[in-house]
Amino acid sequence: MDTKKQKDFQKSSNYARSLIEASLDPLVTISADGKIMDVNEATVRVTGVPREKLIGTDFSNYFTDPEKAKDGYRQVFKDGKVQDYELEIQNVNGDLTPVSYNASVYYDENGEVAGIFAAARDISDLKQVERALSEAITPAMKVWDGILMLPLVGNVDSKRAQIVMETMLTSVKENQIKVAILDVMGVPIIDSAVAGYLVKVIKATKLMGCESIISGISPAVAQTMVNLGLDIGDVTSTSSMENALQMAFSFLELEVIHK
């Protein structure tokens, strides 16, 4: 290249770089073996990792679900692109950012695949709305004669606990419920405050002559509750909804039989 051409090239590549840096979306290029080749400032911000520490490391490292991230870039190499591929970026500070990726392969001057160019769009707002919606509705379903099911999704604060209490007591009264199943699988944190609310709801329900079963307590949650010192006393709890239903049937002296 002569000097003029070289200057022009330098200018246009500086210009391209500044465009990439100006993007608020995290942008990244990935090599065939899944390593990060280049990133922009937005990627540095969302991961909390400096540029020089990102480059050369596994792309999948920075997601809550590394396997899904790997599947994503493998798919790009296979099909040439992916669209609206959802992942969650994990910052070193523990913050999670839900993102939607659009990615495609790009080529070198010989027409060979050089790697992947991937752009992430922050979809936190969208997810926030989805979450708010699912927290706003606390559905109570009568699943059998005398059996109520109440799946709790999202965080339980005192206001929410109040709503659950009212929903539960109203449907117990209106539908002559004898057993209520409170499913807490979708509640991310069960600390002493949340447990306190649950116990209150269950006691009130009991006063109306209705037994409660808590389902959706995973082994990790159960063990932590015991270590914390939570004594949910005579409250029946179980890991699966299936078990809870079985218990409810046997409490009502019902039997499920094969025909």
Partner 1 sequence: MKTVKSKKISNPADIITVSSNALNIAKKIGFSETASYSISIAVSELASNIHKYAKNGYIHLNIIEGKNTNGLEVVAIDNGPGIKNIQDAMKDNYSTSDGLGIGLPGVKRLMDEFEIKSEPKKGTLITTRKWL
Ligand X SMILES: Nc1ncnc2c1ncn2[C@@H]1O[C@H](COP(=O)(O)OP(=O)(O)OP(=O)(O)O)[C@@H](O)[C@H]1O
Q: Is the Cβ–Cβ distance between 146 and 54 less than 8 Å?
A: no
Rounded Cα distance, 15 and 9, in Å: 10
Binding residue count for partner 1, defined by CB under 8 A: 27
Q: Which of 110, 229, 255, 258 binds partner 1 (CB under 8 A)?
A: 229
Q: Which of residues 12-51 bind partner 1 (CB under 8 A)?
A: none
Considering only 1-9, 87-95, 177-185, 202-210, which stretch makes contact with partner 1 by CB under 8 A?
Answer: 87-95
Q: Does 93 bind partner 1 (CB under 8 A)?
A: yes
User: Which own/partner pairs from 21-26 qualify as long-range (CB within 8 Å, at least 24 positions apart)?
Assistant: 23/119, 25/119, 25/120, 25/121, 25/122, 26/89, 26/99, 26/119, 26/120
207: partner contacted, choices ligand X, partner 1, none (Cβ within 5-8 A by kind): none
Shortest Å distance, C-beta 97 to partner 1: 11
Binding-site string for ligand X from residue 174 to residue 213, where x marks contact by CB under 6 A and - marks none: ------------------xx--------------------
Nearest to 231 by CA among 201, 197, 192, 200: 192
Shortest Å distance, C-beta 230 to ligand X: 9
Rounded Cα distance, 147 and 178, in Å: 6
Token code pair at residue 38:
């280049």
Binding-site string for partner 1 from residue 166 to residue 195, where x marks contact by CB under 8 A and - marks none: ----------------------xxxxxx-x
C-beta of 38 vs 122, nearer to partner 1: 122
Amino acid residing at 139: P
Rounded Cα distance, 178 and 184, in Å: 19
Strands (DSSP E) contained in the chain are: 27-30, 36-39, 81-90, 96-107, 113-122, 141-144, 147-153, 179-186, 211-215, 236-238
Q: Which of 8, 130, 157, 166 binds partner 1 (CB under 8 A)?
A: 157
The DSSP bridge pattern shows strands 211-215 and 236-238 to be: parallel
Q: Which of 114, 163, 221, 252 binds partner 1 (CB under 8 A)?
A: 221
Give me the residue label for tokens 């540029």.
Answer: 51
Q: Does 94 bind partner 1 (CB under 8 A)?
A: yes
Q: Given the rule CB under 8 A, which residues bind partner 1?
A: 64, 90, 92-96, 155, 157, 188-193, 195-196, 218-221, 223-224, 227-230
Which positions lie near ligand X, rule CB under 6 A? 192-193
